[in-house]
Amino acid sequence: MCSLSPYQALQNDLFDAGLLIPSGVPGIYGRSGAFESVTEGFERLVTQAGADPDAEVMRFPPIFNRAHYCQISHIHQFPDLLGSVHTFTGDGKDHRRMTGKQMDGEDWTDELVPADAMLIPAACYPLYPTATGTLPVEGRIVDLRSYVFRHEPSPDPVRMQIFRQREYVRLGTAEQVVAHRDMWLDRGEALLKSLGLPVRRELANDPFFGRGGRLAKATQREQELKYELVVPFDIQTADGQPAHSACISDVVIELLHGLGHEPIASLPFTLTIDFDVDQWTLFKFPHADIEALYGLGIHELGPWRPLATHVEEQVEAGRPVLVEDPELTRRLGTAGARVADARFDAPVMAQTYAQAFSGSW
């Protein structure tokens, strides 16, 4: 059977443990009592850290006025993350048409119309329309908490589409706001370290959309407007050394070169690589590009016999095999693999085989 991605493996572990409850939609989960207990305990720590007699406590629902949404820049900067509420306002005839479409498996959503509400992408969004006017000299601090929605479906169970967000919003002068940010960087770092987490602060940017978003990201970083507290994964080898990793992209480049093709023709996709919230987007060749340029198809191989048997047969058929999980290979004798579906010379295949399994058998 094919090996799972780390995200899928973690997701399955959380499901099996009953901590998260699947809904059938990536990033939308039910939470168990144990999960909620941990979350609420951590939030109590945040409340203690943010204890401020001058803080105003406000709680808004996870939807807000569409007219207010249209007055902010979110639709221009993050259109791929927004969530709009739609509803049905038709008569009996319209209803029969809509249900008919639904029963026939057709798209029935075109019978809906926008409601007066939008899903909030951050807990602070409903606050700002209420904060118009002149601030007091000392400014304001507002304690907010709400579920928020961001359309980011992902197999990573940590990246949810709807999740709780706690905010302490500072309204005031530029100096007051920067001081508030720096204070909470120190508080947050101390809080996470008190839980035994090896946290560090890093310069960050929001996931601005489109070509203009690239400039916005660069400007945000250049002006040091946003920081994140990051807990790194400490992955080590058996002898305690830092672990290294490689990607199928490295193998594809060498394979194309060895077959006499020009790999540079396949690299324009690298121009789309970008820093997305907390990580770089994956450096991975689009399979459609490889097939269109070179006539090579990259496919998953689902081993159901000893892996060596599959590799031997694939090599004899002229198909190079890349094993992506050598540790699983050693332990189980089977693992996920990729097969480049093309005909090659036997000497090339023998060399590829030796490189792919060097040190693994």
Q: How far apart are CA 268 and CA 248, in angstroms?
A: 17
Stated pTM of the model: 0.65
User: 333 or 145, which is more confident?
Assistant: 145
Task: Say if residue 28's pLDDT is above 80.
Answer: yes
For the stretch 168-221, pLDDT in tens is: 999 999 999 999 999 999 999 999 999 888 898 888 888 888 878 888 888 888
**Which position has the higher pLDDT, 106 or 328?**
106
Spatial contact of 173 and 139, defined as CB atoms under 8 Å apart? yes
Q: What is the pLDDT of residues 94-103, one digit of tens each?
A: 999 999 999 9
Taking the C-alpha atoms of residue 267 and residue 286, their distance in angstroms, rounded to an integer, is 10
DSSP conformation class of 89: -
Q: Which two tokens stand for residue 327?
A: 């540790």
Q: What is the mean pLDDT of the chain?
A: 82
Closest CA to 192 of 143, 166, 228, 231: 231
**What confidence score (pLDDT) does residue 80 get?**
92
What is the radius of gyration, based on Cα positions, of the chain?
A: 26
- φ, ψ dihedrals at 201, nearest 5°: -95, 140
CA distance 16 to 36: 17
> Which of 202, 209, 140 is CA-nearest to residue 171?
140
pLDDT above 90 for 58: yes
Residues with Cβ within 8 Å of 109's Cβ and at least 6 positions away in sequence, in order, are 86
Compute the distance between CA of residue 320 and CA of residue 344 in angstroms, rounded to an integer.
9
Residue 63 pLDDT > 50: yes
Q: What is the pLDDT of residues 6-21, one digit of tens each?
A: 788 889 999 999 999 9
237-262: per-residue pLDDT in tens? 778 776 665 556 667 777 787 778 88
Is the pLDDT reported for residue 332 higher than 60?
Answer: no
Residue 325 has pLDDT above 60, yes or no: no
CA 53 to CA 141: how far, in whole Å? 10
The secondary element (H helix, E strand) that includes residue 200 is: strand 200-203
Could you tell me which of 147, 214, 138 has the C-alpha nearest to residue 179?
138
- 3-state SS class at 323: strand
pLDDT in tens, 106-156: 999 999 999 999 999 999 999 999 988 899 999 999 999 999 999 999 888
> C-alpha distances in angstroms, 74 versus 127, 181, 182, 289?
15, 22, 25, 33
What is residue 281's three-state secondary structure?
A: coil
Domain boundaries, the chain: 63-119, 248-356
Helix (H, G, I), strand (E, B) or coil at 21: strand
